[in-house]
Structure 1
Amino acid sequence: MSATTRDEPEPTEDVGTAAAGEKTGVDAAAAAAKRAKSEKIGRYVAMFVMPLLMVGMMVWGYMGALHSPTPHHMPVTVTTQSTSQQAQATAEALSQGLSDVGDEAFSVKTVPGADEARQQVIDRDASGAVVVGDNGVTLYTASGAGAQQASTVQQMVGAVAAAGHIQLDNEDLVPLPGSDPAGLGAMFMTTALLMAGFLPLTITLTNSPQLLLLKRRAIPIITGWSALIAVIVWFIAGPCLHVVDSSDAWQVLGIAWLGVFSVGCVQMFLTRILGPMSVLAGMFLLMVLGIPASNVSIPIWSAPGFHHFLHQFLPAPAIGESLRSVLYFDGAGAWHYLRVLIIGAAVGILLTTLIDLSKQRKGTRPETMVINMPSLHGGKRPKSRFWQYASLAFFPLAMVLMMVVGMLGAMHNPAPRDMPIAVAGATTEQAQQTADGLTEAMPGSFKFTVADSPDQARDQVRDRDVAGAFILPSQDNPAATVVTNQAAGMSTAQTVDRAFTQVAQAQHMQVNDDDMSPLPDRDSMGTVSLYIAIGWMMSGFMIILVGSNAQPESRPLRRLIPIVAGYAVFMSFIVWLIASPIVGGVGPGHFWQMWGTGIVAIFCVAMFAAVLERLFGLLGVIPIVGTIMFLGIPASGGAISIYMEPALFVHLHQVLPMAASVESARSILYFDSDIVGQCLLTFLAWGVVSLILVMVIDRFKPLRTHIPHHVERIYDNPLEQAAEHTDGAEDAEGAEDTSDAADAAEAEPAKG
């Protein structure tokens, strides 16, 4: 019997299912690889874009507003105390002369009496008052309203009076105290309070969002933080530096607390809508726009017109003007600015509440967040909440302390200290005798050397070997001559000119001025070199600080060096682009020198930053910024002469990269690049030593190339979650059931 065989049916369904599963797996792997590649590219892009935006904003904002301050519609009153025709004619001539100055530099008003004119100056409604009487003409100003404003008014009104052969006397109605002769106390305190308001919230969002995303926690924390900062700023500015008088302690404490609290509440709202990018918004509104519009850095009448509008509502003007009111005007006029801070705090809390309520209704409030910056010190995330929060508070606290101690401590009382001056006369014996007499009359203020001839004295001033020169009268030149060098430093030139003009006038000498390198109108304050240097320095350390967190895969030296080199080429060009074509602070003909020097400066500072970032993680920003900025700016001579600060900064001027940056930029712009080679050696010393240290550190310390995935719960327990979600909704619809509120809060984890 034969057997019949049949083919078994093929398992087509199982094979198809397996094939589909395999295809799905391949597709999923491909999609995951594509996402990983996109994320990697995005992180590298962020590594470049974030520093570009931050540096670009700072250089453009500060240089654009401050490089050539020019008075516009500065209010000045003119009145007469006499009914004589001569007094009336003099008043009319001065009014017309002031109205014709520049491009509407003054807004001239006539008031009926001298008392009213003086009161307008005291009330800061007028920047100056000209009072014509039978016994002469007096210009009243208030340096408490701004030393630069008073100086500008005195200089420009004095020029108009001199052109009309009118003798002008000056009287300061509200002089600055001896402990704060430049009126910089309000400016540096304002800057520190602004930093304390916005900086901690952005760091908190990326490290400990559970503290910020719950108003029940955030508002008490901001309240306590504001009180701590107020006490610290007052203690340093008051008992330590004596900028704040003891009688003003409570008022200053209150303004400081309210300022930090108001900024913190507004920044809390910005973190809700912008996330970590709120740091850019905070910098832009508070620092880039706020400081130039504050009236405590330059007179608001000398700032671009748009800043007059910003002055009315930004927190920087509100804090600065209220501090100035208390420090110099017995509190008069403070309430107007305090109102701005109170309204700002209320609006910040209200908008935050509305955002939270909207997310609650939509069910989009997250229960957890992925932490972008789990550790601030570069190691593992602390297991203890105490150490986690302690490191979180230490970072902004140290930044505020460095700002107040470093900047305010160095520059709050600028006065000449051993400023080098050359003395020349018809004979060296005459010059030596004069130098000895001046040394005895001005001990500690100036350090006099005798030049062999007036020409040698001029050469020493031109070469920046001395700060200025005093040339005695001779048969060939019967007038004394004060020789200065504006391009080497405006504050130095002004100090030398003022001091030795007074010396000559006290001896009844005719005196002439001789400026060896006058500044152009596009850089009338001589600060363009400082802003260029700040752009280079910030570019250098920002690429390291941002890159180590945005793209830690860039940290190995074999990747970091080419990245930083390319970035230095790019950012040096950007700084030049802002300074020259965009802002107009740099004239034509300096591109190649400026670009090349900037590349070297940026790269070498980046290597220095890499050393401290490898040792301390993000907390390395404290010694980085402390060295480069808070010590570097006072030591650079870009803002105030190094001979008008503590002697430490004269020595730091020789070694710090910020000083080398300012001097190299000055040398390129005004002195035919004469000392650029020396400055490049300073950069290279920092860069080479730092690179060697990085190599040593990498040999002994494991290099982190990824950020550990860490998810943080926003709510510690369901009851807290329910309470937070119910809060705010009660105002709109009444209290909701706890379970309903808890359900409404469920959402996908969100990235911080």
Structure 2
Amino acid sequence: MRTLATGLWLPALFLAGLLFSYLPAFHHPAPHHVSIAVAASPAATAQLQHELDVAAPGGFTLRPTADAAEARAAVLHQSAVAAYVPDGPHPLLYGAKANGAALEPVIRETFAAVAERAGGTLAFRELVPTVPGDASGSGLLYVVLSCVVAAYFMVITMQRAVGFGLRAHVATSIGWGAVTAAVAYLAGAYVVQAIPPNPLYLLYLFLVTQAVSLTAYGLVPFFRGFFPGIAITLFVLLGVPSSGGAVPVQLLPGFFRFLHPILPMGNAVDALRSVGYFGNSQLLRPTVVLCAWTAAGVTLILLGYLRQRRRLAQVAADQTMTEYVPGPPAEDPTVMLPRPVALAPHQHHFGDEAPMLTGRVTDPSGQPLPGTTVTVIDTHGRQLVRTRTDRNGEYAATGFSEVVAVVIAIMPGRPAAVAQLLLDPAAPVNQDIVLGAQLPETREPDGSGP
């Protein structure tokens, strides 16, 4: 049962997430506090507000403007989703499809009924259409989603990168983020033509990759094998429905409207929408939030590094100062504990158990030393695994539980070398070893060899 639970918890999380996140968000969209600029007096606007509150309670929030030009400007600067000019027999509604393609029909239907009750016929004018290649208005969502998913899976697969330290992981995150942002932008703007071409998109696509990848990597030391579920919940299972890219945020239930300005995906979609369609009018909040997520990821990485260093020192001190007392046997005999084994360097395939310890043994000049015996013991002297280096002087092993270990490299005719390190299933280690120079041969007093 424990093996099944270990293997199925992530698929079960996906199932629950799609059923209880996507379904509640998308199955019954309804307007909530949709901001409309009205070119009318405060008294006339209040009367219209009362009329809409009766028809759709909480659905619309009207604010009066001095004239039609001011109402129109409110739409172009994203301070209102639409603008209504009630003068004359043909009241005019200004819309912006780029602010939510699914929201525009709802607004038009509502204000057509308002105009009809007033004895007029509604006229409509589109102020900010989407690009021709994005008829559904969801192009921004899928460009951002491609970057989020690519960043997430990069962190997952890089956990198998043996020998990659902290700096290498961070450098890979930055490099992969730049490549992902460039590919997503070029494909979306020039290949599919689903987003407006604007080089500033590159910055925000890069920021969202860093917000996701650095935060996910920072979760690894604290949640270990559970970090994929936490990351996918934050960035996809909750991030997509609250992003406002598939269904405009004004049509979502309250929980997802609350998440929208917090999670990276919603802020990335808002930033791209502002850059591509609204002249960079509302960039402050998305920029600050994406930078804050990136900073939070860097902070988690640093805290995890310090935590690992303290744990290494503490475990080493505890095991040195106390006598070894054998632990009790596992209560569940079906639970198979890891068993350390030696591996052939560079010969593991996808699906095989990844090496946890790798390294290369060389002489002081950097030449490999094949056939060197490498022994891994714990701090009580118990042997965990023994192997020999290959023709390139390399060795590999896996199957360790979390333990402070000592690696000993021995080759006849050279002084032995010893290194102490922390072996952790969640963090593969590369330990290169340099053996000293060849020892001179010792001879007997009569001049004969040993």
Normalization by structure 2: what TM-score?
A: 0.70
Deviation, 1:215, is 2.3
Deviation, 1:382, is 8.1
1:142 to 85, 96, 101: 96
Deviation, 1:170, is 1.0
1:169-201 CA-partner distances (Å, limit 9, x unpaired):
111111122222222210111111110121221
User: Is the Cα–Cα contact under 8 Å of residues 142 and 175 in structure 1 kept in the other structure?
Assistant: yes
Secondary structure of 2:12 counterpart: helix
2:300 to 344, 351, 368: 351
User: Is the Cα–Cα contact under 8 Å of residues 127 and 153 in structure 1 kept in the other structure?
Assistant: no
State whether structure 2 residue 288 is matched by structure 1 residue 306.
no
Distance 2:188 2:11 in 1: 32
Distance 2:420 2:293 in 1: 28
Deviation, 1:160, is 2.8
Taking structure 1 as reference, are residues 357 and 751 closer, same or farther at Cα in structure 2, changes over 3 Å only? closer
Aligned position for 2:153: 199
Deviation, 1:70, is 1.1
State whether structure 2 residue 271 is matched by structure 1 residue 271.
no
Distance 2:108 2:18 in 1: 31
User: Is the Cα–Cα contact under 8 Å of residues 360 and 745 in structure 1 kept in the other structure?
Assistant: no
Aligned position for 1:225: 176
Unaligned ranges ≥5, structure 2? 317-336, 363-417, 428-450
Secondary structure of 1:298 counterpart: coil
Taking structure 1 as reference, are residues 43 and 331 closer, same or farther at Cα in structure 2, changes over 3 Å only? same
State whether structure 2 residue 241 is matched by structure 1 residue 292.
yes
Greater RCO between the two (CA within 8 Å, min separation 6)?
1
User: Is the Cα–Cα contact under 8 Å of residues 99 and 107 in structure 1 kept in the other structure?
Assistant: no
Taking structure 1 as reference, are residues 58 and 180 closer, same or farther at Cα in structure 2, changes over 3 Å only? same
Q: Which amino acid aligns with 2:239?
A: G
Aligned position for 1:712: 356
Aligned position for 1:524: none
Deviation, 1:164, is 3.6
State whether structure 2 residue 157 is matched by structure 1 residue 208.
no
Deviation, 1:716, is 7.4
Taking structure 1 as reference, are residues 303 and 238 closer, same or farther at Cα in structure 2, changes over 3 Å only? same
Taking structure 1 as reference, are residues 110 and 90 closer, same or farther at Cα in structure 2, changes over 3 Å only? closer
Aligned position for 1:103: 57
User: Is the Cα–Cα contact under 8 Å of residues 356 and 423 in structure 2 kept in the other structure?
Assistant: no
1:64 to 15, 24, 45: 24
Taking structure 1 as reference, are residues 137 and 203 closer, same or farther at Cα in structure 2, changes over 3 Å only? same
1:49-78 CA-partner distances (Å, limit 9, x unpaired):
332222111221100111101112222222
Secondary structure of 1:129 counterpart: strand
Superposed counterparts of 1:556-635, under 5 Å: none
State whether structure 2 residue 288 is matched by structure 1 residue 339.
yes
2:136 to 165, 182, 187: 182
Distance 1:172 1:382 in 2: 63
Distance 2:347 2:186 in 1: 31
Unaligned ranges ≥5, structure 1? 1-40, 82-87, 373-379, 389-616, 619-706, 719-742
Aligned position for 1:584: none
User: Is the Cα–Cα contact under 8 Å of residues 141 and 173 in structure 1 kept in the other structure?
Assistant: yes
Deviation, 1:92, is 5.9
User: Is the Cα–Cα contact under 8 Å of residues 121 and 128 in structure 1 kept in the other structure?
Assistant: yes
1:696-739 CA-partner distances (Å, limit 9, x unpaired):
xxxxxxxxxxx55x532378799xxxxxxxxxxxxxxxxxxxxx
Deviation, 1:361, is 2.1
1:383 to 327, 346, 352: 346
1:255 to 200, 204, 208: 204
Taking structure 1 as reference, are residues 97 and 715 closer, same or farther at Cα in structure 2, changes over 3 Å only? farther
Taking structure 1 as reference, are residues 90 and 342 closer, same or farther at Cα in structure 2, changes over 3 Å only? closer
User: Is the Cα–Cα contact under 8 Å of residues 366 and 750 in structure 1 kept in the other structure?
Assistant: no
Q: Which amino acid aligns with 2:31?
A: P
Aligned position for 1:577: none
Secondary structure of 2:78 counterpart: coil
Distance 1:312 1:182 in 2: 23
Aligned position for 1:521: none
Is 222-231 or 321-330 further displaced after alignment?
321-330
Taking structure 1 as reference, are residues 190 and 748 closer, same or farther at Cα in structure 2, changes over 3 Å only? closer
2:84 to 130, 139, 156: 130
Q: Which amino acid aligns with 1:64?
A: P
Deviation, 1:154, is 0.9
Q: Which amino acid aligns with 1:383?
A: H
2:190 to 235, 239, 250: 239
Distance 1:258 1:366 in 2: 38
Q: Which amino acid aligns with 1:279?
A: P
Q: Identity, % of aligned pairs?
A: 22
Aligned position for 2:321: none
State whether structure 2 residue 421 is matched by structure 1 residue 746.
yes
Taking structure 1 as reference, are residues 220 and 80 closer, same or farther at Cα in structure 2, changes over 3 Å only? same
1:139-189 CA-partner distances (Å, limit 9, x unpaired):
111111111121211122222332343321111111122222222210111
Aligned position for 1:172: 126
Taking structure 1 as reference, are residues 715 and 276 closer, same or farther at Cα in structure 2, changes over 3 Å only? farther
User: Is the Cα–Cα contact under 8 Å of residues 98 and 108 in structure 1 kept in the other structure?
Assistant: no
Deviation, 1:303, is 0.9
Stretches (4+) displaced over 4 A: 88-93, 364-367, 714-718
Distance 1:381 1:43 in 2: 27
Secondary structure of 1:170 counterpart: strand
Deviation, 1:298, is 1.0
Greater fraction strand: 2
Q: Which amino acid aligns with 2:9?
A: V
Q: Aligned-residue CA RMSD in angstroms? A: 3.2
Normalization by structure 1: what TM-score?
A: 0.43
Secondary structure of 1:221 counterpart: helix
Greater fraction helix: 1
Secondary structure of 1:297 counterpart: coil
User: Is the Cα–Cα contact under 8 Å of residues 131 and 196 in structure 2 kept in the other structure?
Assistant: no
Secondary structure of 2:247 counterpart: coil
User: Is the Cα–Cα contact under 8 Å of residues 137 and 169 in structure 1 kept in the other structure?
Assistant: yes
User: Is the Cα–Cα contact under 8 Å of residues 211 and 290 in structure 2 kept in the other structure?
Assistant: yes
State whether structure 2 residue 25 is matched by structure 1 residue 73.
no
Aligned position for 1:363: 312
The total of aligned residue pairs comes to 349
